[in-house]
Amino acid sequence: MKELNAIRAEWKGDTLNDGGGLSGEVRVNSGSVSVVFRYAFKWQGKVAWHYCGTYPAVDIAVVREERDKARDLVKSGVDPRSHKVAVKIEAQAAVLEIIRVDEQKRTEALTFSDLYGIWIEDGVSRSDGNKYIRQSFGKHAIPVLRDIKVQHLTENHLRDLYRRIIAAGKTATAVELSKDIGQMLRWAEKRKPWRALMIDGNPAELVDIKQLVPKGYTKERKRQLSIEEIIQLKRMFNATTQNYASDSRKHGVECVLKKESQIALWLCLGTLYRIGELLKTEWKHVNFEQRTWFIPAANTKGEHGRKHDQLIYLSEFTLDQFKQLHSLTGDSNWAFPARNKEGHVCEKTVSKQVGDRQVKFKQRSRKLKCRVENNSLVLGDEEWTPHDLRRTGSTLMQKLKINRDIINLCQNHVIGSRVDRVYLLDEYSDEKREAWEMLGDRLEAILRGDENDMKVIPLHVQVA
């Protein structure tokens, strides 16, 4: 030890012999002296060297211990150099195993909520920006299934969830949610780390929603307003408009539909277009001189890349409705401006207003905050919605003997084969204009109660 401490920089390159095959080379680096020790041994007839450490970074006792281990390995027929590599590999493997076990634990802890968070961002892209899915999962699925680990998710969890929603009178919501959860889990089955957590299968495949819904349930609504109900609706609007001011002062809240909402419903009936598309209308898209209403592709329903602009021709009936609306909201850029923010009203505003005024058909456990709830818009024994007016108008066209393809085109439905859509590009503008005009005449006759005017000459249009 004293000799090692006495080494000077002038000894650079000298070799020190420690015995037993251990020797050290003196090195100097930036004025610092060190000794690199190696153990010499014969392997397969040749001299080989095994590094044992560098003094003073490694104590000489440790260096000699390393020499002794190497010598014992040589005696047992093991190359100490290979053994050193093997030890490093084993150490690295141990580290990797610790990491693997930790990753497995974190993977096994992934929950339904974790899966939903990844899927909603990377696994699904709906035309509404996934707004409906976020609302549906946020209200029904996440509160119930949030903390359930994906590997522990069972068909019973899903079945109980759907039954709970159905019991609350929201069968359609349960059906749609079952489809969306099924889509999410099928997406997960094909991807890491989720597929490893579903080794026992996809629980959604084991739940048949048809077995859970009430007998006779059908998603397809067939509700349409009869002529008598259309007339009754007009009377309701007339009566409530006259009593609006006094009722509002009496109750302190709005108890009837605003005029703008009434007009929106007549426009749905007279144009066959969706309430959500209508409520996003800007006045720059309504041309009173040309009697047209333009709907940009971005505002229409459909898949990305397949939506296109729409041009609706206004009948006297729908033109008059837009004129009445313009007298109310013409100072805004929007036909249906929002009350407390820039832009248009919420697309669900009118639907909520109509539903709230048919509360007898709802199964609400409590009164909704800041919402009017009464039965002032009840028509018959079945609830109706703004979308049912679209069906009603289409059926009136059908009764006028208008060609069904023209009716579908008026509704912005896709018709014909893919080849037809590529090569047959006529938009049947004249035929659609005539169809809308006939519907408008029919509605005016109905609302006047003039049975003679209701006998409209049918279209004789054929579409190849």
Q: Which residues contact 265 (CB under 8 A, 6 or more apart)?
A: 233, 257, 350, 354, 386, 389
d(CA 427, CA 409): 8
d(CA 19, CA 236): 113
Work out the angle between the directed axes of helices 259-271 and 316-329 (0-180°, nearest 10).
150
**Least-confidence region, from 76-90, 190-204, 229-243:** 229-243
Residue 240 pLDDT level (bands cut at 50, 70, 90): low
Nearest CA among 33, 30, 31 for reference residue 13: 33
The CATH number of 2-79 is 3.30.160.390
d(CA 45, CA 59): 31
User: Quick one: tokens of 25?
Assistant: 């080379």
Helices (H) and strands (E) in the chain, counts: 18, 7
What mean pLDDT, rounded, does the chain reach?
A: 86
Residue 246 pLDDT level (bands cut at 50, 70, 90): very low
Q: 2-30 burial, b if ≥16 CB within 10 A, otherwise e?
A: eeeeebeeebeeeebebeebbbbbbbeee
Query: Which pLDDT does position 305 carry in this prediction?
Result: 56
Tally of residues, the chain: 464
Nearest CA among 398, 352, 356, 389 for reference residue 373: 356
Of residues 450 and 462, more confidence is placed in: 450
Nearest CA among 289, 275, 282 for reference residue 393: 275
Of residues 366 and 147, more confidence is placed in: 147
Residue 241 pLDDT level (bands cut at 50, 70, 90): low
251, pLDDT greater than 50: no
Is the Cβ–Cβ distance between 356 and 372 less than 8 Å? yes
Domain ranges of the chain: 2-79, 112-211, 227-448
What ranges in 416-458 are assigned the alpha helix state H?
418-423, 429-448
Task: Please write the tens of the pLDDT for every residue from 175-231.
Answer: 999 999 999 999 999 998 999 898 888 999 999 999 999 887 777 778 999 999 999
Task: Please write the tens of the pLDDT for every residue from 336-347.
Answer: 999 888 899 998
d(CA 439, CA 170): 34
Nearest CA among 406, 413, 388 for reference residue 301: 413
Tell me the CATH architecture of domain 112-211: Orthogonal Bundle (1.10)
Of residues 302 and 54, more confidence is placed in: 54
457, pLDDT greater than 60: no
Q: Which residues contact 228 (CB under 8 A, 6 or more apart)?
A: none
Residue 253 pLDDT level (bands cut at 50, 70, 90): very low
Task: Please write the tens of the pLDDT for every residue from 3-57.
Answer: 777 788 888 888 888 888 999 999 998 888 999 999 999 998 899 999 999 999 8
Is the Cβ–Cβ distance between 373 and 367 less than 8 Å? yes
Task: Please write the tens of the pLDDT for every residue from 118-133.
Answer: 999 999 988 778 999 9
**Least-confidence region, from 74-78, 93-97, 177-181:** 93-97
Query: Which pLDDT does position 128 carry in this prediction?
Result: 79
Peptide bond preceding 193 in cis form (omega within 30 of 0)? yes
Q: Which residues contact 361 (CB under 8 A, 6 or more apart)?
A: 378, 382, 383
Q: How far is CA 458 from the centre of its chain?
A: 44
Task: Please write the tens of the pLDDT for every residue from 309-337.
Answer: 899 999 999 999 999 999 999 999 999 99
Share of the chain above pLDDT 90, in %: 58
What ranges in 198-302 are assigned the alpha helix state H?
227-251, 259-271, 275-279
227-448: in CATH 3.40.50.1100: no
d(CA 33, CA 19): 21
d(CA 193, CA 215): 39
Nearest CA among 178, 236, 230 for reference residue 204: 178
Task: Please write the tens of the pLDDT for every residue from 373-425.
Answer: 899 999 999 999 999 999 999 999 999 999 999 999 999 887 776 777 666 67
